[in-house]
């Protein structure tokens, strides 16, 4: 297998090739966020009630928040691609 055969996007239309960097950045963000938020995943984030009183810390809430952030990135990627492709 040669280097020439490993090139990605060589046979794709140009419009698709333009979105490869955008998709790579979105994927990198979804990988980077859990690494940067390891402390929150390990020890939890503060949980408060509706009056702002601190109830404690929850690692489950941190995990759920990180999943929601990654979902927003993925959703943004899909919306952008679907609105710009012909």
Domain coordinates in residue numbering, the chain:
12-84
**Tens of pLDDT, residues 48-63:** 999 999 999 999 999 9
Greatest CA span in the chain, whole angstroms? 63
d(CA 41, CA 36): 10
Query: By three-state DSSP, how is residue 44 classified?
Result: coil
Per-residue pLDDT 10s for the chain (86 aa) are: 445 554 554 676 777 777 777 778 777 877 888 888 899 989 999 999 999 999 999 999 999 988 888 777 667 766 666 666 55
d(CA 83, CA 86): 8
Cβ atoms of 44 and 55 within 8 Å: the answer is no
Kindly give the interhelix angle for 59-84 and 14-36, rounded to the nearest 10 degrees.
Answer: 170
pLDDT at 47: 93
Q: What residues contact 84, with CB distance under 8 A and at least 6 apart?
A: 15, 19
């Amino acid at each position: 297998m040669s280097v020439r055969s490993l090139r990605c996007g060589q046979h794709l239309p140009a419009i698709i090739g333009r979105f490869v960097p955008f998709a790579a950045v979105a994927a990198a963000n979804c990988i980077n966020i859990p690494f940067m938020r390891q402390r929150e995943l390990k020890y939890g984030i503060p949980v408060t009630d509706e009056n702002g009183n601190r109830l404690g810390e929850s690692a489950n809430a941190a995990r759920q928040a990180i999943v929601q952030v990654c979902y927003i990135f993925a959703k943004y990627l899909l919306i952008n691609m679907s609105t710009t492709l012909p």
